[in-house]
Amino acid sequence: MKKYGVLSLKEYEKQLENCVSCYCGLCNKNCPAYTELKDAAVSPRGLSEVALAIIQGKYEISELSNEILYSCTGCRACEWYCTENIFIDVKTRKTRVSGATVTEILRSMKVESGTIHPKVRDALNNIAKYGNPYGGLPKSKDDWVSNLGIKTDNIDTILYVGSLVPYEDSAKIMAEAVIEVMKKAQIKFAMLGSEEMDSGTSARVMGEEGLFEEMVEYNLEVFKRNKIKHIICISPHDYDTFINYYEDMAGIEIKHYTQILWELIDSGRIKFNKELNKKITYHDSCYLGRRNDIYDEPRKILESIPGIELVEMEFSRGTAYCCGGGGTGLWIDLPKVDIDLKRADQINEVNVQCVAVACSICSIMLSAAMDSRDYDIEVIDIAQLVKESYC
Amino acid sequence: MSKNLVSQEIIDEFSVAIGKEKVSIDKPTRTCYSITHGPEFLLHDNYFDYFLPDAVLRPSCAEDVQNIVRIAGKCEIPLVPSGGRSGSSGAEGMRGGIVVDMCRMTKILELDEKNYRITGEAGVRMVDLVSYLKKRGYMAIDWPASDEIATLGSRAAINGYNWWENRWGSAGTIIQGIEVVLPDGNIVQLGRGGNRPTKSAIGWNLMDLFIGSRGTLGIITKVTEMFTDFPSILVSRGAAFHTVKEGIEAYLDLKKSKYSNTVWRVVASVSEHMSFPITVGKSWPDEIAMMVNYDLYGEPSEVEGMVKCAQEILKNHNGFTRPEMSEMVSWYSSHMSEWKGIKEGMNIELGLASHLFGDRIKTEGYSARPVFLDPNIPDSSLLAYYSELQKLLATIEDGKTYPNLAECVKVYDHGAIIPGVRGFNKMWVVLHVYRKSMNKESRKEFIEWFKKHIELILRFGGAISTTHGWLPRELEVEFIKKIMGEKEYELMKKIKNLIDPKNIMNPKIIF
């Protein structure tokens, strides 16, 4: 079987050396794990030193705590600030210095060692058995697609809703908004129903390389069998996985739904007819922004909706603070890690009625954070805003 | 080698005193404290074991620090206070010792707007302090290049270099008060202003004993700094010079004390030779020997007046600009002078090290490590020293004087000059060290070269600095004595013995 995106510590040793050789610590600035825990071992530079020590045989993977293994959200803020990544275009995971990449490797070593966090194990079992980490029944996905009246075959463009839909409420609402807008704009697309399984993103971040490879093989076969040429992703996490981990998508064009919506707005196919009169800020998804440079389309969509006043947070675009849901954040609730609350505070600082998101995981995390903080700020997906003004 | 010297019983005692969750003895966590951004580890092949502490403690309040110090004193366990560990000053851990990481003491405690004072716990990051003040219309004036990670406590402990030193002085000048937990566990409040004398002969200025003491006398838990109103405008300009002599003379005229209210920063630099080809994709013209840039801050009328004056000064020393230089000048101004943040400042300097020397830019392989030397040189001997320095730097790369060193060290910056304490200047010399090639022979040659480097500094009336420079630990006692004098060093030792008779406070350095 082909190994997709698998990276060993040994293969990554140069970047570990480069980090340790400098050890400036600028990567710590907006690292959510370090900011929360104030533990040098979860900081990006600390992870490099830890990983290098493992290579040198100073200790075993089994000696790493859950905090070290699972605090990283994969937001890649460390890469953004890292001096070693300045100036040169090191795009591959193998050549960029990154705490997130170190964590991915350590997690896969942990899985290989056979001892994994129980919640990770449960989620992985669900993915293997049902194709989604929630353990949702495939039939319910078929029923959901059928009720929406979406075709499941004979169209080369699919809307890839991901494995959170329809099992998680806010993700389902978000997907339905995208579907309604695309239907009204007369975009021809199909959905795969239960044939669509997790892209592998969940398995990947949990360190289950073998399962990830199985998902990749499965999905590529499904795409080939259905003669898919274009995939529109709802989730930035799936988008990121297809773009950065599949390695060979056989010519299939991958887009995030915000890119599609902006194209429709820009070409005049979507014309808004209702003013929303809302002061809004936009929370950049790490997997869309920092990981894939999609910063402008979501903002252009928001700015084009009548009545929306878009304000920026202090930490936005490349410096945006994570919601806390990336990596294994949705599955493992580590004590003293309240990344979402800090982001909620940053949102609250700009005095808005709404925070727009383009990722269902961000939506889940930030909604919970707003409730915890008792902030009267609505967390709403961009597609829902478009729908409200357009449909 | 891996066995801990601090017993489990002592660790348990710390856990009871400050809480188990603030105590780490696992090896992976301790690993991260065996290294800092300082270059000392380059001289140790086995740095990992050499600097590995036995435990890491993370106090969350001054009372925790008192408890830690009392137990450590009783058991005679060395303590190494740690801030952001972005400096060059000896925050590496030590075998048989305990690192006290102040990172959880992050509260900003008081903003005194009427008296322009801000007080925070020792672990407050400078970037958070800057942001806190900026949101309220004020400007932090103690602004280090590593603001993203440097902390208030470590600014005091190392008397940190400050970006606006020409106007405001070093961190030690800006700091107005500190709270220190002494080795006996008692807390003292020291400083200027408030209930401490601002201008008085009532008592000694004890605070300055702790400024720059690098954790050897106590653990700083609270710091009060001055700040200022946000200036209305910033103007950054510069000019080129055909000779170093003209450039340095123009620089010295610009930093004169009569202009320093407005001239917050001046830099005389040759580093563009290396950096501009990469950053703006153009070669630096060969006939330009030096570039002098300056930042003017203040209200419009005074800044506008100073712009004219500054341009006149540069012109008097044959400074010039040309249309094709504008991109380079504006790049410098926007990236290095306006100080937008770390992305455009320290990152660039450190990032360049990765690419200019080492294989990273060509093969995405190993990068080099920048090592800052930063001696303090008086105005009066600046030009003469600069000339001699170039000869000494040339010996690193000539391949004959230090054949092993030449294989792994290159000179990146031959001496950008920036103002330090009035009458003195930091000679910002940067070496790029290719760590993977370092071996016993090259390390030995490095020490030999370093001795010559210090002797040269002393010959010209200067001093080595670990504020932003570095003094290898094995040379520390020898050269502190030479820099300070034998009697003065003995006085330091007496004071150290009085305050810390068991020598538990960062004992691996200075003494």
Flag if A81 and B353 touch (Cβ within 8 Å): no
Chain segment B304-318, per-residue pLDDT in tens: 999 999 999 999 999
pLDDT, residue B14, reads 98
Residue A295 has pLDDT above 90, yes or no: yes
Q: Is the predicted pLDDT of residue A41 greater than 70, yes or no?
A: yes
Which residue of chain A comes nearest to B278, CA vs CA? A87
What average pLDDT does range B327-335 have in this prediction?
Answer: 49
What residue has token string 């990981």? A291
Residues of A in contact with B371 (CB under 8 A): none
Q: How far apart are CA A32 and CA A319, in angstroms?
A: 12
Q: Collect all residues with Cβ–Cβ distance below 8 Å to B69 and sequence separation of at least 6.
A: B79, B181, B182, B183, B184, B185, B218, B219, B504
Please state whether B326 falls in left (phi above 0), alpha (psi between -120 and 50) or beta. Answer: alpha
Average pLDDT over residues B368-380: 90
Contact with chain B for residue A89, Cβ under 8 A: no
Is the model's pLDDT at B494 over the cut of 90? yes
Residue B375 vs residues A51, B236, B382, B477: alpha-carbon distances, Å: 35, 26, 11, 17
| pLDDT score recorded for residue B178 | 96
Taken in order A249, A255, A256, A257, the sign of the CA dihedral is negative
Task: Name the pLDDT band for B21 (thresholds 50, 70, 90).
Answer: very high
**Residue B343 clears pLDDT 80, i.e. is over it:** no
Which range among A325-339, B125-139, B300-314, B315-329 shows the weakest confidence by mean pLDDT?
B315-329
Nearest to B27 among A46, A63, A84 (CB): A63
CB contact under 8 A, A87 and B353: no
Mean pLDDT on A100-117: 90
Tell me whether A14 touches chain B (CB under 8 Å): yes
Which residues from B are below 8 Å from A49, CB to CB? 31-32, 34-35
What pLDDT score was predicted for residue B336? 42
Q: Is the pLDDT of residue B340 over 50?
A: no
pLDDT digits (tens, 9 = 90+) for A373-389: 999 999 999 999 999 99
Q: Beta-strand (E) ranges in chain A? A: 157-160, 230-233, 253-256, 278-282, 308-311, 354-357, 378-381
What per-residue confidence (pLDDT) applies to B312? 95
C-alpha span between A158 and B311 (Å, rounded): 64
- Binary contact (A22, B350; C-beta < 8 A): yes
d(CA B222, CA B155): 11
Over residues A58-71, mean pLDDT? 92
The DSSP result for B459-499, as a single string, is HTT-B--SSSS---GGGHHHHHHHHH-HHHHHHHHHHHHHH
Altogether, the residues listed in chain A come to a count of 391
SS3 for B366-384, per residue? CECEEEECCCEEEHHHHHH
Rg of chain B (C-alpha set):
23
Whether residue B3 has pLDDT greater than 60? no
Average pLDDT (B454-481) is 89
Interface with B, mutate which of A49, A83, A91 (most B CBs under 10 A): A83
* Strand segments (E) across B319-400: 369-372, 376-378
- Chain segment B261-276, per-residue pLDDT in tens: 999 988 888 765 555 5
- Average of per-residue pLDDT values in chain A: 91
Residue partners of A141: CB distance under 8 A and separation at least 6: A165, A166, A193, A194, A196
List, in sequence order, every residue forming a beta bridge with B82; answer none if it has no partner.
Answer: B101
Which pLDDT belongs to residue B327? Answer: 54
Closest CA of chain B from A134, distance in Å: 32
User: How high is the pLDDT of residue B334?
Assistant: 46
pLDDT bin (cut points 50, 70, 90) of residue B339 is very low
CB atoms within 10 A of CB A72: 33
Instruction: Answer yes or no: do B27 and A86 touch at CB < 8 A.
Output: no
Q: What is the pLDDT of residue B1?
A: 41
β-sheet bridge partners, residue B443? none
| Identity of the highest mean pLDDT range in A321-330, B392-401, B468-477 | B392-401
CB proximity A11 to B under 8 Å: no
Query: Quick one: closest CA in B to A22, which residue?
Result: B369
In A298-337, the residues whose Cβ lies within 8 Å of chain B are: 314
**Helices and strands (DSSP H and E) totals, chain B:** 19, 17
Q: How confident is the model at residue B498 (pLDDT cuts 50, 70, 90)?
A: very high
Of B2, B351, B366, Cβ closest to residue A83: B351
Is residue B335 predicted with pLDDT exceeding 50?
A: no
**Residue pointed to by tokens 């961000």:** A362
User: Using 50, 70 and 90 to split pLDDT, how confident is the model at B278?
Assistant: low
Give the SS3 label for residue B416. strand
Band of residue B398 on the pLDDT scale cut at 50, 70, 90: very high
Identity of the residue in A24, A40, A56 whose CB atom sits nearest the CB atom of B350: A24
Confidence label for B455 from pLDDT (cuts 50, 70 and 90): very high
Distance from the B138 Cα atom to the nearest Cα atom in chain A, whole angstroms: 17
End-to-end CA distance of chain A: 46
Q: Provide the residue count of chain B.
A: 511
Q: Look at residue B272 in the predicted model and tell me its pLDDT.
A: 57
Inter-CA distances, B74 with B13, B14, B69, B366, B503, Å? 11, 12, 8, 46, 12
**Per-residue pLDDT band at B2 (split at 50, 70, 90):** very low
Q: Cβ B149–A29 below 8 Å, yes or no?
A: yes
Q: Which residues of B touch A28 (CB under 8 A)?
A: 84, 148-149
Closest alpha carbon within chain B to A60:
B28
A64 touches chain B (CB under 8 A): yes
Share of chain A above pLDDT 90, in %: 71
Complex prediction ipTM: 0.90
The mean of the pLDDT values for chain B is: 87
The per-residue pLDDT for range A212-266, each reduced to its tens digit, is 999 999 999 999 999 999 999 999 999 999 998 887 787 899 999 999 999 999 9
The secondary element (H helix, E strand) that includes residue B108 is strand B108-112
**How close is the nearest chain B Cα to the Cα of A29, in Å?**
6
Beta bridge mates, B431: B371, B411
Residue B323 pLDDT > 70, yes or no?
no
Query: Which pLDDT does position A88 carry in this prediction?
Result: 56
Q: Which of A203-217, A377-391, B97-111, B328-342 has the lowest mean pLDDT?
A: B328-342
Tens-digit pLDDT profile for residues A157-200: 999 999 999 999 989 999 999 999 999 999 999 999 999 999 99
Report helix, strand and coil shares of chain A as percent, to nearest 5: 50, 10, 40
Chain A interface, mutation test: which of B149, B275, B276, B409, most A Cβ atoms within 10 Å?
B149
Structure tokens at B227: 């700040």
**Range from A66-70, A325-329, A339-343, B213-217 carrying the lowest mean pLDDT:** A325-329
Does A41 contact B32 at a Cβ distance shorter than 8 Å? yes
Provide the b/e sequence for B145-178 (b: ≥16 CB within 10 Å). bbbbbbbbbbbbbbbbbbbbbbbbbbbbbbbbbb
Per-residue confidence (pLDDT) for residue B420, from 0 to 100: 87
In angstroms, what CA-CA distances link A306 with A95, A198, B455, B473? Answer: 44, 36, 71, 65
Residue B225 has pLDDT above 80, yes or no: yes
How many CB atoms within 10 Å of residue B66?
Answer: 21
Identify the residue among B3, B32, B44, B279 best suited for mutation to test binding to A, counting A beta carbons within 10 A and taking the highest. B32
- CA torsion sign for B29, B30, B33, B34 is negative
* Distant-in-sequence, close-in-space partners of A53: CB < 8 Å, separation ≥ 6: A59, B27, B28, B31, B48
CA dist B425 and B420 (Å) reads 5
- Which amino acid, residue B376? N
Torsion of CA A87, A92, A96, A102, to 10 degrees: 170
pLDDT value, residue B32: 94
pLDDT at B273: 56
Segment B160-195, tens digit of pLDDT = 988 888 999 999 999 999 999 999 999 999 987 655
